[in-house]
Amino acid sequence: IVRLDGVPMIQDGSNRGMLFLLQEVTEIRRLEKMRSEFVANVSHELKTPVAAVKGFAETLLGGGVKDEKTARSFLQIIYDENERLNRLIGDILELSKIESKRAQLECSPVHLIEFFDSLLETLSKVAEKKNISLNATVPEELFMEGDEDKLRQIFINLISNAINYTQDGGSVNVNVVNGQKADGTETVVFTVRDTGMGIPRKDLPRIFERFYRVDKARSRSSGGTGLGLSIVKHLVELHHGSISVESDLGIGSSFILELPLLQEGSH
Ligand code: ADP
């Protein structure tokens, strides 16, 4: 540790106050840096679709495109990019809500088998398009306390990713079991496993960061915003849970979540 003027500091009792101050300053600087990086990233991410919409609209307005097929394909690009912009704005607002601590849990007992039945029904259309088999194994009478809307968002993000990053004909499985932590707290352990492309080992520690993507082009072309997993991580932490990932390149990935069975303070 060095002082702000670069002089090394001795960590004895007399310098403790100074050390504390330094840690505060370092933390504030770190947060400022994160915030300015986030703003830079957001601007960049927003500019890309806006530029695409503008460019293709200008070409169409210029009247240079005579055949209808090309014109339609340009309109489709405009539509898709606009949709992505919409998702991006939604994700950014969601993330800022969670990060500013305005997000609070509205807990109720969630019957997990019913929860996954309805969720998988919603997602089955996307899976069918890629001929991916999508299944969930959930104990019949298992209820957990949680915020159903937020749990939905967690699993929609994880399962959509699993479908997205798995080749046609693969499979995505959700497995739910009771668990227990070392201190005796009862938990529910969820595993979302896919037979997809996997994630390189070096990228694993970073995939929960905002806007971090292993393959930018692939994420963009599949409509990804790069924010899904950071939203998931925040929502899991809001539930006092934890999330980890295991992956083998070319074989598949597993996202493992452990959430408390009951939420403290909601009784
Ligand atoms: P995106 O919108 O790009 O999917 P996410 O935050 O959801 O953003 O995920 C971050 C990155 O992690 C993705 O761009 C992708 O590279 C990688 N990733 C996430 N889930 C999977 C998965 N199931 N299999 C392979 N790669 C994944």
User: For residues 7, 10, 15 and 18, what is the CA-based torsion angle, rounded to 10 degrees?
Assistant: 40
Distance 166 CA to ligand 1 centre (A): 11
**Nearest-atom index, ligand 1, CA of 252:** 24
- Ligand 1 lined by 253 (C-beta under 6 Å): yes
CA distances from 222 to 5, 47, 130, 205 (A): 49, 18, 13, 22
Distance 246 CA to ligand 1 centre (A): 13
Distance 20 CA to ligand 1 centre (A): 38
- Ligand 1 lined by 173 (C-beta under 6 Å): no
> Which amino acid would we find at residue 16?
R
- Residue 196 burial (CB < 10 Å; 0-12/13-18/19+)? buried
Distance in angstroms (rounded) separating the CA atoms of residues 31 and 161:
29
Distance 66 CA to ligand 1 centre (A): 39
Ligand 1 atom 3: residue of nearest CA: 226
Note the pLDDT of residue 5.
57
Distance 23 CA to ligand 1 centre (A): 33
Tokens 């898709």 locate to 80
Strands 252-260 and 171-180: unpaired
The interface predicted TM-score (ipTM) is 0.98
Adjacent-strand bridge partners of 134 = 172
- Residue 110 burial (CB < 10 Å; 0-12/13-18/19+)? middle
Sheet holding 252-260, edge to edge: 133-137, 171-180, 186-194, 252-260, 242-248
Ligand 1 atom 21: residue of nearest CA: 161
- Ligand 1 lined by 172 (C-beta under 6 Å): no
Element holding 84 (H helix, E strand): helix 68-99
**Nearest-atom index, ligand 1, CA of 219:** 3
Note the pLDDT of residue 11.
56
CB neighbours of 157 closer than 8 A, spacing ≥ 6?
A: 228, 229, 231, 232
Collapsed DSSP state (helix, strand, coil) of residue 88: helix
Distance in angstroms (rounded) separating the CA atoms of residues 46 and 44:
5
> Which amino acid would we find at residue 260?
P
Distance in angstroms (rounded) separating the CA atoms of residues 76 and 197:
28
Candidate from 197, 201, 207 with most ligand 1 atoms within 8 A of CB, to mutate: 207
Note the pLDDT of residue 267.
46
Residues of the chain with pLDDT under 50: 267
- 224-227 long-range contacts, Cβ below 8 Å, gap at least 24? 224/164, 225/45, 225/84, 225/87, 225/88, 225/91, 226/45, 227/88, 227/91, 227/92, 227/94, 227/95
- Ligand 1 lined by 116 (C-beta under 6 Å): no
Distance 26 CA to ligand 1 centre (A): 31
Tokens 């899976």 locate to 127
Q: Which of 257, 249, 251, 37 is nearest to 157 (CA)?
A: 257
Distance in angstroms (rounded) separating the CA atoms of residues 232 and 148:
14
Note the pLDDT of residue 14.
61
Q: Per-residue pLDDT tens for 40-81? A: 888 888 998 999 999 999 999 998 888 999 999 999 999 999
Q: Which of 205, 116, 218, 206 is nearest to 161 (CA)?
A: 218
